[in-house]
Chains A and B, each alone.
Chain A
C-alpha cells in the first residue's frame, strides 16, 4: 500500500519527457522517472521515497531500442533484464543480470533503473564498466553521448531531470573472454557478498566489483597490481586486495576479512581461467 497519491504520466518522446519533468518540478510535484517500478513501489510503501508525479519512460521508442547498429550494441534504458538475458548480445552482461533478484523481478527491472537506482549494488553497471561503454543522457537542452566512466562515480552523477536513454557498447568488447562470479552470504538469490566481472582485453584483465564496499567500482591501481609481471598468483592477488584495504567494509552479508578471503579465491579462479583460455 502506497500511502500517498501521485499523478501518472506516460510521454512518448524524449523532448516531452524532459519538459514534463521540469514543468512538474517547478510546480513542486517532486517528479520521478518510472521504469519497472520495483524500487519505487517497495520504497514508497516504506516511506523511503515520495513523489506526486510519476513519469513512466517506457513509452519512449529510443529507450526501448535493443540492437546492433554500426558495430555497436545499443540498449535502451527501458529494456528489461529478462530481455537482455534472452537476446544475449553481450554474454557478460546477460550473466550478470540473470543473477540480479529473481526471474519475476528481472521481468520488471530495467537496465536504466538498475544503474540509476538507490539500492547500492547496481550490478548491471559492472560489465559496462569493463567494456568502456558509453551512455546517452538527455539533459534539459541536449542529448549527450558520454563515456560511462565520466558520469558514473560510485553512482550515476546526473543533474535533476537528466534521463538515461541508452547504453552503447562497442562490438569489439562483446565477445572477449570474460567471467562473472557472484557470491552471497547463503542463498543463490540475494544481494551480493561480492559480485565480480572480469574481462580480458589486450592481454590485460579488467575487473569491476559490487558488494565489497558501498558502491560498484573499478580500480586502475587494483588492475595494475593484478596484471603485474609477478609469477606467483597469490602474491599478485594479495597485493591487489591490499590496495583496497580501506574500501572493503563489513555489512550484514559478511565481514570485510571474509570478503577479502572470498575475493582472493574468486580472483585466483579467474586468473586460472584466463590462463587456461590463452593456452
Chain B
C-alpha cells in the first residue's frame, strides 16, 4: 500500500499550465462592467506645506464622478505608529505622496481630470538623508511624533526628533571583549534605498455594497491585515469586510502593508460605494508606493590574532522615509541578528529608525537581514585579510552553534538552526575554493571569488498564526484551503506536497485553492518572512491528523475493528495486518452507506492550526528575547572577472548553499533561491534611488532605474544541506527570501579582493571602482 514519497520531489506547480499559457487572471485583469476608475494626484515636492487644493476644475471635467482629498477622511494609519494620512493632510512629506483621488467613468477621464487639480505648496526644508535627520537642530518630518497613537507596546518614538524608534542590544561586556582583542578596527557602511519592482504593480478594486459590506479585490501578501487595517481606520466591523486575492505577480514584501486599499475604499465611498479600480503605473509604484529601507552603519570589531571574534559594537541607522510603517521592525530585526551567524559573547548594538523626506518604506525581501549581513560579512573579510586567515576558515571558527546565545540571548539549539559549517564545506567544493580566490588571467583580467554567510530568523509578531481547512470530494480527493497567498514561489504546491506526504497519497489528488478569500479561508498571518511553508505546513500536518482520526473512526466501524488497527494511504483506510481489507475514502468521507441499506457517519472536514511558540518581545534595555522560532543559515559566493584597465567587471558565477532543513520541492526551491540571488546582484551592481538636492527621485522609471536583465545573469549554482528543523513540517525551514541575503556582501568582497580596495557600499559600478582607483580625475594619468 506504500506510495512514493511526495516531498523532496520536483512537483510541477499547480498553477503552471494556466500561467505559461497566459490564462491565469491577476487582480487587474478582471474589470467587471460598471467599474469606475480612480487616479491619484501625487506630490511634486518632498516636503511642503499644502496651502490649498482646488479641485473645482477636476470636478466638472467630463466623466468625473467624484474627487477626494484628505478633507473628507481625517484619519491616520500605520501598523505600528499611526502617522500616515492615506491622502496628505496639511503637508506633504515625500515626492510622490498621494494628495487627491479623482474617480471617473474611464481611466482616461480620471487621468485627464487629475491634471486639473491645483495644489498650492509652500516648500519646507528637506530632510534628504539620514545625516540630515539626526542633526541636533534638524527640522522635523513629524511635529506630532510623541502624540501619535502607537499600536504596539514595544515601540518608543522620540518626540521632537526624527527618531522613530531605537533598539538596543546589550550582551556581555564590551570593555572585556575589546581588552581580550589583539586587533580592533571600525568601518562604515551604506546601502541605499531602492524599490521592490514586482512585475505586477499594485492594484486594487473596492466596492461598498448597499448592505454595508465592503469588498476589496487586491494584490496583497496580507489579506487579513488589509481586513483589520480597514476595519480600524474606518470603524467598520471586520466581519463586514471581505478581501479577495487571486494569484499575485510578485510581492517581495512590498505588498505586505495596506496602502492602495485605503485609497480604493475612500474612492468607492466617494461614489456611493460603486466599484472603483485604482492601479499604479510603474512610475507610481516606484515613487509613490513604499520601498526598501536605506541603511547606514558603523561597526567596530575586536578579535584575537587567531581570528576569534571577542567584541562587536555596531550602530545602525534605518531610513524609514516619511512614514514609519514596518521600518522600526526592520531596525529591530537588524539589532536582534546583528552578529550574523557567529558566536560573539560581547556584543552591543544600537539600531535607530529615522524619518526623512524620502518615500516611506515597508518590508523588503530579507527584512533588514540583507543590510546587517552586508556589514558583518564585509567586516569578516577585512578581519581575514588583516590576520591573513582564509575567509571561510575564519567563518567556520566563529560559526554559531548549539549552546551559543544569539545577540538577544536566545538559546541556539540543534533543533532550531541549520549547520553552517556543512554549508561552507559544500560551498568550497562547488566553487573550487581550493583553486584560489584570486586568479590572474592571461588577458590581464582578474578572476576573484568573494564569499558571505548569512542567517535569518522570522522576526514575526509573537502571536502570528496560521490555519487550514481540508474538505473532501466525493471521489475521495482533498481540497486544501488556507490564506497563504501564491506570490510566485510555488508555496501552495509545496503545501500540497506536505499534505500528500502526510496522507500517503498522490499530490495530484490534492486540490489547492489558489485564490484567497477572507470570507471562507482561515487566517494566515501574512505571506511574508519565509514562514508560509513552516506555519501553514505545520497547520496542515495537524489538519491531516485530524482528518485521519475521523477517517479511522468511521473506518473502524465499517471494517469492524479498533481505530488503532488501521492505517491510511492511497486514499483508503486498511487493516495494518492485512491491507487487503480496506475501504476507500470515496465510500466514507461523505458518510457511509452499507450494502444492506443502512447509512452512518458524516461528512468529514479536517482542520489544523499553528501558533508561534515561545516568542517574546525584546527587553527595552538589553534586547533580551525570543524573536524567531528558527534560524536558516547558508553560505554564498560570487565570482567576478575584473578588468583592471577599464575598471569594469563581469559576473561569472554565483553560488548558494543553504540548510533548508528539508527540501520539499527541489526545483521550486532552487528557483526561489536563484531569484533571490539575482535580486541581490541587482542591488549589488545597479539598483538605487537617486535623489536630487530637493529629495526628488531622479530615476523613477525603468528607463533609468535599472534591474538585472535576463542576459546579464551569471551561472547560478544552488545546493542544499538538510539538517531537520525540530518543529518544521518534515523538518523544513524557511528559505524564500534567503537567496538575496549574502549576495551584496559576497559581491563586494569579490570586488574588494580583485581591486585591492575596500568597497563598503552598494551598488558598485565600474565608475565607482574607477573613482576609488584613480581619484576620479581624468587628468591624473
Q: Does B445 reach chain A (CB closer than 8 Å)?
A: no
Give the distance in Å from the alpha carbon of A47 to the alpha carbon of B44 in the complex. Answer: 15
CB distance B767 to A255 under 8 Å?
yes
Chain B residues within an 8 Å CB radius of A257: 776-778
Give the distance in Å from the alpha carbon of A252 to the alpha carbon of B709 in the complex. Answer: 19
CB distance A187 to B111 under 8 Å?
no
Give the distance in Å from the alpha carbon of A188 to the alpha carbon of B686 in the complex. Answer: 13
Chain A residues within an 8 Å CB radius of B112: 3-4
Give the distance in Å from the alpha carbon of A195 to the alpha carbon of B767 in the complex. Answer: 16
Give the distance in Å from the alpha carbon of A141 to the alpha carbon of B145 in the complex. Answer: 69
Chain B: number of interface residues, binned into ranges:
20 to 34
CB distance B704 to A252 under 8 Å?
yes
CB distance B283 to A186 under 8 Å?
no
Chain B residues within an 8 Å CB radius of A1: 107-108, 111
CB distance A187 to B686 under 8 Å?
yes
Q: Does B765 reach chain A (CB closer than 8 Å)?
A: yes
B274 CB to closest chain A CB, in angstroms? 20
Chain B residues within an 8 Å CB radius of A46: 283
B406 CB to closest chain A CB, in angstroms? 37
Chain A residues within an 8 Å CB radius of B108: 1-5
Q: How many residues of A contact B (CB 8 A)?
A: 26
A38 CB to closest chain B CB, in angstroms? 12
Q: Does B154 reach chain A (CB closer than 8 Å)?
A: no
Those of A224-262 within 8 Å (CB) of chain B: 241, 252, 254-255, 257-258, 260-262
Q: Does A185 reach chain B (CB closer than 8 Å)?
A: yes
A78 CB to closest chain B CB, in angstroms? 24
CB distance B690 to A252 under 8 Å?
yes
Q: Does A72 reach chain B (CB closer than 8 Å)?
A: no
CB distance A187 to B770 under 8 Å?
no
CB closest chain-A residue, reference B711:
A188
Chain A residues within an 8 Å CB radius of B125: none
CB distance A47 to B115 under 8 Å?
yes
Q: Does A190 reach chain B (CB closer than 8 Å)?
A: yes
Chain B 615-645 interface 0/1 with A at a Cβ cutoff of 8 Å (1 = within): 0000000000000000000000000000001
CB distance B771 to A186 under 8 Å?
no
CB distance A261 to B107 under 8 Å?
no
Q: Does A13 reach chain B (CB closer than 8 Å)?
A: no
Chain B residues within an 8 Å CB radius of A241: 778
**With A185-B767, A255-B776, A257-B777 in contact, do A3 and B111 touch (Cβ < 8 Å)?**
yes
Give the distance in Å from the alpha carbon of A187 to the alpha carbon of B648 in the complex. Answer: 11
Cβ contact of A186, chosen from B645, B686, B770, cutoff 8 A: B686
Chain B residues within an 8 Å CB radius of A255: 767, 776
Give the distance in Å from the alpha carbon of A245 to the alpha carbon of B686 in the complex. Answer: 28
Give the distance in Å from the alpha carbon of A47 to the alpha carbon of B283 in the complex. Answer: 13
Q: Does A189 reach chain B (CB closer than 8 Å)?
A: yes
Q: Does A264 reach chain B (CB closer than 8 Å)?
A: yes
Q: Does A265 reach chain B (CB closer than 8 Å)?
A: yes
Chain A 187-220 interface 0/1 with B at a Cβ cutoff of 8 Å (1 = within): 1111100000000000000000000000000000
Chain B residues within an 8 Å CB radius of A185: 686, 706, 765-767
Give the distance in Å from the alpha carbon of A257 to the alpha carbon of B768 in the complex. Answer: 12
**Interface positions of A (Cβ within 8 A of B):** 1-5, 45-47, 185-191, 241, 252, 254-255, 257-258, 260-262, 264-265
**Can you list the 3 inter-chain pairs with the closest CB atoms, starting with the nearest?**
A3-B111, A260-B778, A258-B767
**Sampled A-B contacts (17; CB under 8 Å):** A3-B112, A46-B283, A47-B115, A185-B686, A185-B706, A185-B767, A186-B686, A186-B765, A187-B709, A188-B711, A241-B778, A257-B776, A257-B778, A258-B770, A258-B776, A260-B778, A262-B646
